[in-house]
A and B are shown apart, each in its own frame.
Chain A
Amino acid sequence: MILGAPLALLGLLAIPVLILLDRLRRRPRPVPWPSLLLWRAAAAGEAPRRRAFDPLLLLECAAAALLALAAAEPALVTGRLARTVMVLRDTGPHMRARCGQESVAEASARELARLRAALDAGDEVREFETARDLARAAAGLPDADLRVVVTDRPGIGGPGLLVLGRAATGTNVGIDAVQLDGDRLWFALATDGESREVEVRVGARTMRVPTGEGVETEAAETLRLLDGGNCAEDDSCRLERIELLVRDGLGTPLTRAALFGAGIAARDAEPFDLILTAEGGEGIEGVVRGAECALADGLFSGLYLQDCAWRGATSKPGAGLLSFRDRALAAWLDERTLWVGLPFDREWDDHGTLALFLEAAKRESARRKSGARAVAGAAFADPAPGFVDTRGVDRPFHGPLPEARRKLVGETAFRAILAAAALLVLALYLRAIVRGT
C-alpha cells in the first residue's frame, strides 16, 4: 500500500493534541473551601480511583486518525506502468549541418539511441518529426513520462508565424502576411490609423481589402509575384536568383514577408541566391531580422546584402564593419561574403539556428556555386526557456529518467471507506455526548 499524499499524515498530530486537551480538561479546578472536614469524611473508605477510561477521547482520536489516513490517499500498488517517452526530432535543414565529424542529425540519432538504451523493456517510445514550427509541434506532444525535443535550436520558437506581404503602391499601409501552411498565405493588413480599405495587388489580381482582414492567396501566386517571371509555364520554378527591393521604411515586417515568400517559392527548387537591396528602410535591424527569419527556415543557400544604404548604418564592402547604434551587426568580409553578427541580447534569441544554417549554407553553396558564401558569427545564444524539456544534441541528455507510473487500485474505495468510518465514529461521538456518558 502506498499513500498518494503522505503529508496528510501530519493530521495524526491532532491525536496528541486531543489527548493534551483532554488532560487539561480533566485537570482538577482549584476551589477554595471552608473546610475539608466533610470531604475527607466522604472520601474515607473510597477505593483509589484509577484513571477513568474515556470512550469519548478514544472516539475523537479514532476519527482524527481515520480522517488523516483518508486524506493521505491510500492505494494498493498492483504493478508498474510502462513509461512513455515522446520524442520530437527537428528535421530542418540546419540539422544537416556538420559539427566536426558528424552532422547534427547524426548526433541526434546517437543521442536518441542512448536514450532508448536507458529505457526498460516495455517502455514505449514514440517519435515525431518536424522541420518547421518546432514550438507548436512540441506543444502538441501527447502527455508522457518524458518529452524530449531533439534540435540544435537554442530556442524552440522556430519560424512560427511569419509575415509576408507588400504594400500597395501609393499607400502607406503595412501589410503583413501569415503563412498558415505550405500552400496558403494569408495576408493581413495592418492599419495605418486612417485607411479603412487598401488595395492589394498579388500578381494579376487586385483586391480591395478592409484593413484588419486578410486575403488568401496561393503560394504559386506569391511565387510569380516575387519571382517576376522566373517560373516556367508549368509553374515549375527554377530559381537561381531573386532580387528584392525593399523600399520606404516598412522595415522588419515587409522584409520578413518578402524574404519568406521568396523562400516558400523556392521550397521545391534548388537553393538559390537572394539579393536584397534596401533603400531608405527603417534600418538594418528590420532587414537583418527579416533575413534571419528566412534563413532560419532553411531556404537559402546564401545571403548577400549589397549596396545597402541603411539609414544610420555604414558599410564598407571588403573591410568595413557594419554598425548601427553602436552595435556591430554585420561586416563584409570580402566583396561577396557577409559576416552576420549574432546575438547581442534576447532580441536575437533564435539565431543559433541562423548560425548553423549559414554554416551549412556556406558549405552547400560552395559545393554548388563557388564564390557564394555566408559566414556565421561565433556567438550562440543561450537557450530560451521552453515549455517542454529541450535536449539539443549540443547538450546531451544526462538527466535521470522519470520513474514509471504505478498501477494503483482502490484509491477511491479506500478513501471512501476511511471517510465513512470516520463519519461513523463522529456519529458515535455525538451520540455519546448527547447521552451524557
Chain B
Amino acid sequence: MTDRAAPGATAPFDEEFRRRLEVLKRLVARALAGRGGGGRAPLAERGGRVEFAGHRAYTPGEDVSAVDWSAYARLETLVVKEFQAPRESQLLLLLDRSGSMALFGKDAAALRLAAALGWLGLASGARVACASRAAASRWLASPERFPDLLDSLEKLPEGGGADLAAAVQKAPPHGTGPRTCVLLSDLYEAEPAERALAALRSKSATVACVHLLAREELQPPLANAVRLTDAESGETLDVALTREARARFAGEAERFCAERASLAARHGARLVRVAPGDDLIAAVERVLLGGGSA
C-alpha cells in the first residue's frame, strides 16, 4: 500500500511524466496567451518589469550614474530617478508528506502534481518554492531551474504529522508580487490545516487546496475482521466490516469531505479533490483553472 519503499515502484518524475509535462507546457502557453481554457488566468497576477516611480534630490556621495541628466538640463538641479521594485508572481507549493500520505500512492501523486504546478509557474515567469513541515526550498525562477525544483520536492522530508501551518512558516520570505499557494494534503488533521489556511489568508495569498484521497480510502477494499493501524500514530482499531459498518463508514467519509470543503471555503480557498491515478493534466487544470471536486 505504501509506495515510498516499494521495490520497483515507478519514479515520481520518470520519462513518461516529463513527456506529459511538455504537453502541459503547451497548454499553459495557450492559457497565458488567452487561448487556453475559459477560466481565469492561471495565476492572479504576473510581474517582473522595472517601473519608474519618480524623482528625488541627489544626495552627495550617491552614484552619479543614478542622476537624471535630462531633468538636470530642464530643472538645473540634480535629481535622481527612483524605480519601483519588480512585482513578481510567486507560487508556493505546500506539501503534506506525513505518514498518512505514504499509503495508496498519495505521496507520489502529490509530488507529481506539485512538480506539474511548479513547471507551470516557472514557465509563466513566476517564482516557485516548495515547503513541508520540516523543510523548504529557495525561490526558483525560470524554467531552467525546473530540475532544481524536482530535486527540492524529492528532498522534502517524509514522515511525521501533517503540520501545514509549520510548512507555511518554513516557506521562504515572499516578495511583493501576487502570491498563489497550493496545499497538497489528505487533510486528515483539520486544525493544522485551518491554521495554515488562516496564515495564508493573512498574507493575501490565493490558495488552492488539493484534497488528496485515494478511492480505497473512501471505499475500503476490506472484508471480515481487520485490525487497522494508524500510519502516523501506530494506534490500532479492530473493525468488523459488516454491512452496517460499511454504511456508517461511507457516511463518515462523505461528511469528512464536506467538512474539509467547508473549511477551505471559510478561508477563501478553493478545494479540489484529487485521487492518485487521476489524469495529471486534468488535475492540473482543475487546480489552476477551476473545476469541481472529483
The residue in chain B whose Cβ has the minimal distance to the Cβ of A30 is B227
How far, in angstroms, from A37 to B222 measured CA to CA in the complex? 17
**B229 adjacent to A30 (CB under 8 Å):** yes
Majority secondary structure of chain A interface residues (helix, strand, loop or mixed): mixed
CB distance from A44 to the nearest CB of B (A): 9
Residue of A nearest to B254 (CB): A38
Is B237 interfacial (CB 8 A cutoff)?
yes
User: Are B253 and A34 neighbours in the complex by a CB distance under 8 Å?
Assistant: no
- Taking the complex as formed, is A208 at the interface, i.e. its CB lies under 8 A from any CB of chain B? no
In the assembled complex, A43 has its CB within 8 A of some CB on chain B: yes
Query: B226 and A28: CB pair below 8 A?
Result: yes
> Is there an interface contact between B100 and A35, defined as CB atoms closer than 8 Å?
yes
Given contacts A29-B225, A30-B229, A34-B100, contact A39 B235 (CB under 8 A): no
Of A26, A27, A31, A41, most buried by chain B (CB within 10 Å of CB) is A31
Main secondary structure of the interface of B (DSSP, over half): mixed
A33 within 8 A of B: yes
Q: Does A7 contact B (CB under 8 A)?
A: no
- Whether A40 contacts B227 by the Cβ 8 Å rule is no
- A36-B235, A36-B237, A39-B239 are contacts. A31–B227 as well, Cβ < 8 Å? yes
A42 within 8 A of B: yes
Interface size class of B (residues with CB under 8 A): 35 or more
A413 to B234, CA, bound (A): 60
> For residue A46, which residues in chain B have a CB less than 8 angstroms away from its CB?
245, 248
Most buried by A among B101, B225, B235: B225
Verify if B252 is at the interface (C-beta below 8 Å from A). yes
Residues A34 and B252 in contact, CB atoms below 8 Å apart:
no
Q: How close is B185's CB to chain A, nearest CB, in angstroms?
A: 11
Say yes or no for A49: interface residue by CB 8 A criterion.
yes
A21 CB to closest chain B CB, in angstroms? 14
Shortest CB-to-CB span from A376 to chain B, Å, is: 88
> Quick one: given A40-B237, A43-B239, A49-B240, are A35 and B230 in contact (CB under 8 Å)?
yes
Give the chain B neighbours of A41 by CB distance below 8 A.
252, 255-256
Q: In the assembled complex, how far is the CB of residue B162 from the closest CB belonging to chain A, in whole angstroms?
A: 9
Given contacts A38-B249, A42-B249, contact A32 B237 (CB under 8 A): no
Tell whether B284 is near chain A: CB-to-CB under 8 Å.
no
10 pairs across A/B with beta carbons < 8 Å? A30-B227, A32-B228, A33-B230, A34-B99, A34-B100, A34-B101, A34-B104, A34-B106, A42-B249, A46-B248
Residues of A within 8 A of B (CB): 26-43, 46, 49
